[in-house]
Structure 1
Amino acid sequence: MASEKFDAGSAPKPVGLYPHARRAGNLLFLSGIGPRDPKTDGVPGLERSTSGNYTRFDFEAQCHSVFQNVRRVLEDSGAKWEDLVDVTVFLTDMKRDFHTYNRVYAEYFKDHQPCRTTVGIDSLPTPIAIELKCIAVVDG
């Protein structure tokens, strides 16, 4: 089965050699998508001092940003939000952030409810606290 890769120009650039998404048949697989701002490459809600310590941390801002980035990748790949069938979320601090994530998630998936798995992990490759891995079903 042939597959087609998509690099979403409106989303943050991947941090490695991989596409934003790859379509195989009617399935669209999104690579891990984080909350980085596609224009500045900064992390919404995160400010650091010159020594690298956090001076501001707003996890809710990262949640909203990651959902916006997923939407960007979907749309640039010819899909839409309602095409999502599976969402895996990786959180770097499950105890601190799960309840906020769950609340924000409910805002975005109130009417459309894909399957979901939430995984607590030690870290991500950039200074972000959340990353999503998604699968969508697309027509045509």
Structure 2
Amino acid sequence: MTSSVSTDKAPAPVGAYPHARRVGNLLFLSGVGPREPGSNRIPGNEYDIDGQLIAYDIEAQCRQVFANVRAVLEACGARWQDLVDVTVFLTDMQHDFAAYNRLYAEHFTDAQPCRTTLGISALPTPIAIELKCIAVVNDDA
């Protein structure tokens, strides 16, 4: 069994892909960023008068990306505790890792999925963090 899932409780994907795809009891989330559902505003971003990004708040972005992952999971009938693997992309590993790691530990107290964190040069929108997740969903979900 395979099915795609989209939800208005999370920001719309920035491309032609679903929020998640379920294959059997595995749930694969597309990359989830910290944009706010509905408005697409990025928490903590500051722009100059020309619309160029001049500053961002990694803590605000972390909180929002975790909320967005939770929203996608819930739309799929899954829970935070069902996560088994999380890949995290940071655009400034040196500057942002400590704050992100602290907030990650606060959000993943009971659930302890495998995790990989990668430093990358850019993401497709002016965000500093994106998560790619895999969860295991109960057969009755």
Q: Same fold (TM over 0.5)?
A: yes
**Runs of 4 or more above 4 Å deviation:** none
For 1:116, give the aligned amino acid: R
What is the TM-score when the length of structure 1 is the normalising length? 0.96
Query: What's the counterpart of residue 71 of structure 2?
Result: 72
Pair 1:11 & 2:2 matched: no
TM-score w.r.t. structure 2 length? 0.95
- The residue aligned with 1:122 is 121
Question: In 2, Cα distance between the equivalents of 1:136 and 1:83?
Answer: 5
- For the 8 Å contact 2:53–2:126, the answer to whether it is kept is no
1:18-62 Cα deviation digits (max 9, x unpaired):
000000010000000000001210100102022234454211000
Distance 1:22 1:100 in 2: 30
| Partner AA of 2:50 in structure 1 | S
The percent identity for this pair of structures is: 63
Structure 2 gap segments, 5+ residues each: none
Indicate conservation of the 8 Å contact 2:11/2:40, yes or no.
yes
* Paired residue type of 1:134: C
SS in 2 for 1:99: helix
CA RMSD of aligned residues (A): 1.0
Note if contact 1:33-1:132 (Cα within 8 Å) is conserved in structure 2: yes
Match of 1:49 in 2: 48
Structure 1: give runs of 5+ residues left out of the alignment. Answer: none
Structure 2 CA distance for aligned equivalents of residues 45 and 109 of structure 1 = 22
Corresponding residue number in structure 2 for 1:113: 112
